[in-house]
Structure 1
Amino acid sequence: MSDRSAKVSFGEELVSPEEKTRRVGEVFSSVARRYDVMNDLMSGGLHRLWKDRFVARVKPRPGEHILDMAGGTGDIAFRMVQRGAEVTVSDINADMLAVGEQRAGKRGLKGLTWQVQNAEKLSFADNSFDAYTIVFGIRNVTHIPLALKEAHRVLKRGGRFFCMEFSRSDWPGFSELYDAWSKNVIPKLGKAIADDEASYKYLVESIQRFPRPENFRAMVTEAGFVRTAAEPMLGGLVTIHSGWKI
């Protein structure tokens, strides 16, 4: 295997897997405190509607045990625990989890467990969860197929996998407009709001490099899931992916 083929993308750069893991960690440690403010600015508040729609698709129920991977500041977990589910919020970045725990404490939310975990090598036993969710996090994983295999492993039989992720829109005109906005404006917002232009430049580049919905759906199927589906929004700019373990 050549040095080039052994490397993975970090935005538009090729780096070693270890370097990507380290640098992604630095990105999210840097943006953790301003992450939710930046999400509002980058999406015009639409991320809140997307997350509501996502949780409506997951259909969390009282008594269920759900793993929310890359759960960060808790947006998805809060919505699910309010529907009665017990949620383990996991993230590779302790700084993101700390922000989520603080937010949960202020809201008085119960039924949440917080754990630092690597999506590629989870510490949970086989067949542990009724559902696995990951929102705007899978594109930052170094080896995505490993993370999908781990998601399949920790789910119970009949368990469901739900992922929401960005990609590039296939709507003519809108795609070009969003690309220009994301490349030229979002990093500047990151500089102004979070004093971190480089991290938001990486986040934009990671979206542009993420597989198109049909290609990622094939990866979910390859990991062992059945009845896989991809529900695109805004021409695939955001897509809800799902699958079942049987």
Structure 2
Amino acid sequence: MNDTVSFGYEDIDASEKVARVGEVFSNVARKYDIMNDAMSGGMHRLWKDRFVRRVKPQPGEAILDMAGGTGDIAFRLAAEGAEVTVADINQDMLDVGIERAMDRGIDGLVWSCQNAETLSYPARQFDAYTIAFGIRNVTHVDKALAEAHRVLKFGGRFYCLEFSTTTWPGFKEAYDAYSHKLVPQIGKAIAQDEDSYRYLIESIRRFPDMPSFERMIRDAGFANTRVEPIMGGLVAIHSGWKI
């Protein structure tokens, strides 16, 4: 049987997904942060602030920020004194992040092109692993979680910020209508790319719900897993420990 995975609402051969997701993010890299503000009304900044507060980065500890792209999470982690490696499978996203870091005078970050499913790092290297709005774009989420577990030290912590499915009555229906009808049009107007933003919205709908994703994190070997819903689960912070 062929290994098929989701690409938005399509089911495609797994061998195609890396290239197709790569094309999406290469297309949107230059407008990615502007679009985040436009789509969320700036709320993504508050979600990321809350996420980093949960991570509790400490001075001198080694943190791998996977799918770190344009640096939003890494900049916040580094501001607390952590030694951050920013990894992303897409070099165009990393290039935007490097430029942003230079513009802000942020030094000391390590930038690396990496596939979340096959990291080049040795086992037990990092104190924490973070991934924000990236894991739903991975071809095999279970393999990415296994790699996260492998590269963490014993006592290391895993934190994931990702869209999920809100349970608030009424809001869910309103958000579904907004995201499916308006977000692609916003992408067309701002980034001149309707199709990429249609995929990004569809990928949210195909991602496992909060209990299912928490089970996947436990199956990867993490203990003391926890889910913190935001806006009823529109966004969720998942965490676990390697013990």
- TM-score by shorter chain over 0.5: yes
| Higher alpha-carbon deviation: 103-112 or 134-143 | 103-112
> Match for 2:57: what amino acid?
P
Are 1:223 and 2:217 matched, yes or no?
A: no
Deviation, 1:170, is: 1.1
> Match for 2:233: what amino acid?
G
Hey, what does 1:19 align to over in structure 2?
16
Structure 1 unaligned residues grouped into runs of 5+: none
- TM-score, structure 1 length as denominator? 0.98
1:88-127 → structure 2 map (5 Å cutoff): 88-127=85-124
Distance (whole Å) between structure 2 residues aligned to residue 226 and residue 23 of structure 1: 33
CA contact (8 A) 1:134 1:163 kept: yes
Distance (whole Å) between structure 1 residues aligned to residue 34 and residue 88 of structure 2: 19
Distance (whole Å) between structure 2 residues aligned to residue 80 and residue 160 of structure 1: 14
CA contact (8 A) 1:81 1:110 kept: no
Hey, what does 2:196 align to over in structure 1?
199
Match of 1:84 among 45, 60, 81: 81
Which consecutive aligned stretches of 4+ in structure 1 deviate over 4 angstroms post-superposition?
Answer: none
CA contact (8 A) 2:63 2:127 kept: yes
> Match for 2:54: what amino acid?
R
Deviation, 1:53, is: 0.2
Deviation, 1:77, is: 0.1
- TM-score, structure 2 length as denominator? 0.99
Deviation, 1:17, is: 1.0
Distance (whole Å) between structure 2 residues aligned to residue 86 and residue 236 of structure 1: 30
Hey, what does 2:55 align to over in structure 1?
58
Match of 1:43 among 40, 44, 54: 40
Query: 1:185 aligns to what SS in structure 2?
Result: helix
Structure 2 unaligned residues grouped into runs of 5+: none
1:234-245 → structure 2 map (5 Å cutoff): 234-245=231-242
